Chains A and B, each alone.
Chain A
Amino acid sequence: MKRFHLASLAVLILGFAGCSLPAAPGNRHAILIGITNYKEVRSLVYPVNDLADMKALLAKSGWTVDLVLSDAKATKAGIRNGISGMAGNLDADSSVVVYYSGHGDSEDGTGYIIPYDTRISGSDPVVSTMISTTELKSWISALPARNKLLILDSCYSGTFVDQVTTIDSAPPNYGPKDGGVDAGMLATALTNGARLLSMALSDAGDPAILTISAAGSEELSYDDNDNKNGAFSYYLIQAGSDAAADADGNGLVTALEAYAYAKTMLIARWNSLNYNQLSGSYDLVTGLPLYQDFLPRVSGGSGDFVLYDKRF
């Protein structure tokens, strides 16, 4: 009898731990920003498609898309007001996604996204008219939500990614000569051992915002003429429908699962030499491919949360 009770208890514990999924929470909100046509900056082609596809996917996954800001609506003030305006819909248990597809820049190691009304002086964007890492993160951090996810499909977007207790073993400008994404992981951990151990023993918590970037801090990201989306966004969106992205097969695709799928697909397709030769062209002076390798990045910390919920 006692044995039966113990067995029942074990089954119950295992059931709770492994099989039961929480009910889908209703308080999940998204703001989508995409800029195809700029006021002064060179226009892009596919952010408009990224917005439409991401909006449809998030809506299908149980997110309420509060606001879509495109082109002339996506000014610096418009983006700031749009993000802060979400606060009224949120509470301490909410989840928030901020998605951006458009140009990005890096000046002296500081990252920026480029809103519609960024001004150009000479050939460079005026820094004060762009949105810096600090500005964007402070706007999002002010939102009263439990889970915050920032997705950036823009050049140099790795500048927005925090590392905390981990270090990215992939170089800021990843290329075919770097030996694959798995190369150098152990060496990175050991050569940065003192710093990593000191961080592990500190009280450093997770970043307030889980950030996924299309590219490293010194990398460009691209519009993809074959897939008619941002090269990164295409695969991030595909993660919502391709069963391969759901690594544990539980019908829920977390932000990290979607990131990992997009990274794998970009490596297999975009970063493959043949694909570059077919899709890219080469600079007539330097001979370098105009379409270069890049690698999506994700912030450090221990957390993750469900991005695509297929139960809807």
Chain B
Amino acid sequence: MSVHRRLSVFGFVALAMASQLAWSLEMAVAVSGKGGATIEGNRPLLARGEGSVDTSFSLETGHWIFPEFSLSLFAATPSSLDPSLYLYRGYQGLSLSVLTGPRFFPSPALSIDTLFGIGLATTVDSGTTLVGLTPLLRAEARLSAAIYREFWLRIGLPLEALRQGATLSGYAGLSVALVYRLGVPKGVAK
């Protein structure tokens, strides 16, 4: 059997399997609060906070979420002070991320997701006209519960890391989201 023929057969089987799988399409609006810290070069690690409003669109097939696109408006506070009264400046921005990951224990009433992904954030330093573009890494563990028809309530534990030159920031926190989920099976086949 030629390679092309094998690939065609594999594609057909994969398509057939996919058609049997459950799927869902989600739109969510979330708010999150995070605590974190920043470090730069020889400077100390200093604590800070970040808040964000996120909207996301995601597709789940075969208990795997891919892709999830997340658009976030965020603001980070200035950091705490070191003993010399130095601090890291605050910033605001807009980020776009793409995430993927498995969905565990899916049921019509409950699901658990773990997602990880990458993104880009445009930032502006608070009170200035200085803009930057920074890569970010994101991960989130989520528990979703059906609350009314297609509406779900989702609690998440987001993690985030940003790099801007020698400055590294990391955040962890809590997010709460209202989710509209389409395509959930109405029942279990006998």
Contact = CB atoms under 8 A, between A and B. Distances in A.
Interface stretch (A97-105, A118-126, A279-287, A304-312): A304-312
A302 B40 contact: yes
Contacts of B123: 166, 189
Chain A, interface size category, equals: 35 or more
A199 B131 CA distance: 12
A200 B85 contact: no
A193 interface: yes
A105 B42 CA distance: 35
B94 to A, nearest CB: 7
A147 B84 contact: yes
Given A165-B164, A169-B129, A256-B128, A201 B135 contact: yes
A93 B83 CA distance: 9
Given A189-B132, A247-B127, A260-B127, A22 B166 contact: no
Interface in B10-25: none
B122 interface: yes
Given A17-B47, A303-B40, A254 B84 contact: no
A25 interface: yes
Given A22-B83, A25-B83, A206-B167, A189 B127 contact: no
A69 interface: no
B85 A298 contact: no
Of B47, B78, B85, B167, which is in contact with the most chain A CB atoms at under 10 Å from its CB? Answer: B85
A110 interface: no
B146 to A, nearest CB: 29
A169 B126 contact: no
A181 B130 CA distance: 10
DSSP majority for the B interface?
Answer: strand
Nearest to A174: B129
A238 to B, nearest CB: 15
A197 B86 contact: no
Interface in B41-58: 41, 43, 47, 49
Interface string A17-58: 110011111000000000000000000000000000000000
B80 interface: yes
Given A22-B83, A205-B40, A260 B132 contact: no
B117 interface: no
B165 A199 contact: yes
A218 interface: no
A259 B128 contact: yes
A185 B133 contact: no
Given A206-B166, A304-B87, 20 more contacts: A17-B47, A18-B49, A94-B84, A165-B134, A166-B130, A166-B131, A169-B131, A185-B131, A189-B122, A189-B131, A189-B132, A197-B120, A199-B165, A201-B135, A205-B41, A254-B78, A257-B127, A301-B40, A302-B164, A303-B89
Interface of A: 16-18, 21-25, 93-95, 146-147, 163-170, 181-182, 185-186, 188-190, 192-193, 196-197, 199-206, 247-248, 252, 254, 256-257, 259-260, 263, 295, 297-298, 300-306, 309
Interface of B: 35, 38, 40-41, 43, 47, 49, 77-78, 80-89, 94, 120, 122-135, 163-167
5 closest pairs, A vs B, by CB? A260-B127, A196-B133, A204-B165, A306-B85, A166-B130
